[in-house]
Homo-oligomer: A and B are copies of this chain.
Amino acid sequence: MRIGELATKTGVSVRALRYYEEQALLIPVRSSGGQRHYPDSAIDRVHLIQMLYAAGLSSRTILDLLPCVDAKVNTPQSRALIRAERGRIDQQITRLTQARDRLDAVIAFSESPASGCTRMDTTPQ
């Protein structure tokens, strides 16, 4: 399929797909006229890339991880790399959980009768 179709099927922009190619994350074949053509499997790969981006990984890190996730590469080094990134994600989850707990504490306090509630409204919308 061409780039526009892949874009609509995955929900990412055409620009983003070109950027992925620039970062060597997703290399399409080219038609005689120079247009990009992607296989169906590209849909899943885009979703995977998006998942890793959403987890806060950089293009470079994703580039390093993809061959491992593809299970085409399986060396002690690649396993160490994956474990390292897993650790980073874990740390970030810890940080986010701490922040969430902090907000939960604020919520609990602000809703307790003991707090100096302005009481403009008791019934939540």
Contact = CB atoms under 8 A, between A and B. Distances in A.
Interface of A: 48, 51-52, 54-57, 65, 68-69, 71, 74-76, 78-79, 82-83, 85-86, 89-90, 92-93, 95-100, 102-104, 106-107, 109-111, 115-118, 120-121, 124-125
Given A89-B96, A96-B89, A106 B82 contact: yes
B74 A118 contact: yes
The SS class assigned to the A binding surface is helix
Question: Chain copies in the assembly?
Answer: 2
Contact of A103 (B89, B97, B120): B89
Count chain B CB atoms within 10 A of each CB in A54, A71, A74, A75 and give the residue with the most: A74
17 contacts: A55-B95, A55-B98, A69-B102, A71-B116, A76-B120, A76-B121, A76-B124, A76-B125, A79-B110, A86-B100, A86-B104, A86-B107, A89-B103, A90-B100, A93-B96, A93-B97, A93-B100
